[in-house]
Structure 1
């Protein structure tokens, strides 16, 4: 079992080969001494020689293993960086011909992935903007419908209330009993108009990003949302203001979805929002001190978590969800940036 574990690690496998080589050399020396091929006057000398050979091969094997492992570890680290969305990493040039080809292939592969991800992001942004334009048309149509509903329902109810209220003084003078009926009708109609107005208002949704940058929208929306839902909010933003409209739109929707999940499920009191824009990556992090959840629930997923993942993946990014029962939840979103993404968008 131990040998199998050793053979799975290149460094220890190389060290084992050196040890076997040293052992074979020591056995050969011992056999030569016994058969008389090698004459040793003092028996202790060959014991020292055997021990020296074994120790020397161990040292040489360890050094050689460390050197090889030292060339493998940077590539492993860069692969992890690429997996997390940082496509700017590259392997340095090396004089070691064994690894030079591997490093170059890794750089070529990363270049290809970066170009494809950039194209994917541009297509995703285009899709987002097309959907946004379609949504704006739908909003305009919905506003027209609401205007018609207001005219056909609340406006007519208010007109009826006005007519009934205007006739009430004369009815009260002529027939008090009939006046009470009119007042009951007024109460009923006003109550109906109020319900209709509430229903129409409930259908309206404010467009938080219209005419604002992402930072401006979050400065206004985040503290208001925390206050309305009894949360203490901490906000830390470092934005350069050169993000595309599609990225800002998707990130804002992800923030809204994450905050809605916290209010519905987390039972949290404190929420921390961090949004930082680097030269090659945008990182959004939202943490709460709520009840958290297990990895089983995370694998099953919920509608909110799935929606956030889909929004990030449209822009070539990904979402990390870190949570344990009783230890709160952290949602971290990585969106890659490309230097000429804005130029490609304009073209």
Structure 2
């Protein structure tokens, strides 16, 4: 958009408004003195007439101030929208108004910011896909590590459970029921430990449900299964207006997995809600649970999961907002900018 050069300076416009209002008031006084002097004096209406002129001048001043306030409010609203991530926000110039120069500068700043964030998002998407391709060997190593962990932990726990159960059966055959109590408690303890270890390993996995599917299709299958496997009641709401790029889908899927793993490991929740909406200017992902929560105003520098989610959002030019309170659950909101849409303020 070209810079406007015909708009007058705001101080000259305000001065012209003030001069015009003053001219109307003084002109009214002059007309009253020349044409209605005797009538106003005879009826003792000079005070009322002067007050009428003063009120008229004040009304004109109020209307002028209200007009300027609307222009300032328009700029303020556009700034707030830009700060909230709606990078397509623009203000339509009014023609030759003094505010046009401010509006043009704002539009140029918004366009520059949008282009830079768009480039950042594009680079982030390319890096994500390159990293995904280069991680195949790492995935193989991770599977080997999980196999070793299964052998060293769960497999041994299952063997111990088997031995305890076998000894318990022999005790019942020999009618040694009094000595069976400690073994039963040991069985319950080992089975709970095994279940926690398995859930921890499942939470660390990075499944491949997204390969060959769109994000909405993958989440529709993965999310209910994950909730069912971990004893959660889940609600999912996905509203997308079109297909997302592969890089954004990949990152959002990993963010969802990381967020749900945190719910399973830390929240002690019964219900979790997952939503993904296209607002027109942003993709908004939200994960909310009814778990134990925590004090969100205390920095959780030791939370690797939360920091990873925030970093993934930032790679796409987005941000993460965390709301939590002890005993009142946790809400994580991820906002990713959506481009190719401009909203112009002042358009009729």
Q: TM-score range by the shorter chain?
A: 0.5 to 0.7
**Corresponding position of 1:111:** 111
Three-state SS of the structure 1 residue aligned to 2:317 is coil
**Corresponding position of 1:230:** 231
Give the TM-score taking structure 1 as reference length.
0.63
Three-state SS of the structure 1 residue aligned to 2:104 is helix
**Corresponding position of 2:64:** 64
Q: In structure 1, how many angstroms separate the alpha carbons of the residues matched to 2:247 and 2:217?
A: 16
Q: In structure 2, how many angstroms separate the alpha carbons of the residues matched to 1:334 and 1:122?
A: 16
Displacement of 1:57 after TM fit? 3.6
5 Å-filtered alignment, 1:1-347, equals 45=45, 47-49=47-49, 51-142=51-142, 205-208=205-208, 209-240=210-241, 242-277=243-278, 280-297=281-298, 302-339=303-340
Q: In structure 1, how many angstroms separate the alpha carbons of the residues matched to 2:287 and 2:205?
A: 23
Displacement of 1:89 after TM fit? 1.7
Q: Which moved more, 1:96-105 or 1:291-300?
A: 291-300
Q: In structure 2, how many angstroms separate the alpha carbons of the residues matched to 1:56 and 1:136?
A: 78
Q: CA RMSD in A?
A: 4.0
Deviations 1:226-248 (A, max 9, x none): 22333211111123562122111
Alignment CA distance shift 1:43-1:323 (3 Å)? farther
Give the TM-score taking structure 2 as reference length.
0.63
Displacement of 1:295 after TM fit? 4.9
Displacement of 1:322 after TM fit? 3.5
Displacement of 1:146 after TM fit? 8.1
- Work out whether residues 296 and 322 of structure 2, in 8 Å CA contact, stay in contact via their aligned partners in 1: no
Q: In structure 1, how many angstroms separate the alpha carbons of the residues matched to 2:95 and 2:298?
A: 49
Three-state SS of the structure 2 residue aligned to 1:97 is coil
Deviations 1:141-170 (A, max 9, x none): 5557889x79xx9xxxxxxxxxxxxxxxxx
Displacement of 1:47 after TM fit? 4.3
Deviations 1:172-228 (A, max 9, x none): xxxxxxxxxxxxxxxxxxxxxxx9xx99x9598352323332122212221122223
**Count of paired positions:** 266
Structure 1, unaligned runs of 5 or more: 1-13, 30-37, 154-194, 341-347
Displacement of 1:70 after TM fit? 0.8
Q: In structure 2, how many angstroms separate the alpha carbons of the residues matched to 1:323 and 1:283?
A: 18
- Work out whether residues 84 and 318 of structure 1, in 8 Å CA contact, stay in contact via their aligned partners in 2: no
Q: In structure 2, how many angstroms separate the alpha carbons of the residues matched to 1:218 and 1:57?
A: 64
Q: In structure 1, how many angstroms separate the alpha carbons of the residues matched to 2:330 and 2:146?
A: 40
Q: In structure 1, how many angstroms separate the alpha carbons of the residues matched to 2:76 and 2:214?
A: 38
Bigger relative contact order, structure 1 or 2, given CA contacts below 8 A and separation 6+? Answer: 2
Three-state SS of the structure 2 residue aligned to 1:286 is strand
Structure 2, unaligned runs of 5 or more: 1-13, 30-36, 153-193, 342-348
Displacement of 1:78 after TM fit? 1.7
Alignment CA distance shift 1:67-1:254 (3 Å)? same
Alignment CA distance shift 1:77-1:324 (3 Å)? farther
Q: In structure 1, how many angstroms separate the alpha carbons of the residues matched to 2:45 and 2:338?
A: 67
Three-state SS of the structure 1 residue aligned to 2:100 is helix
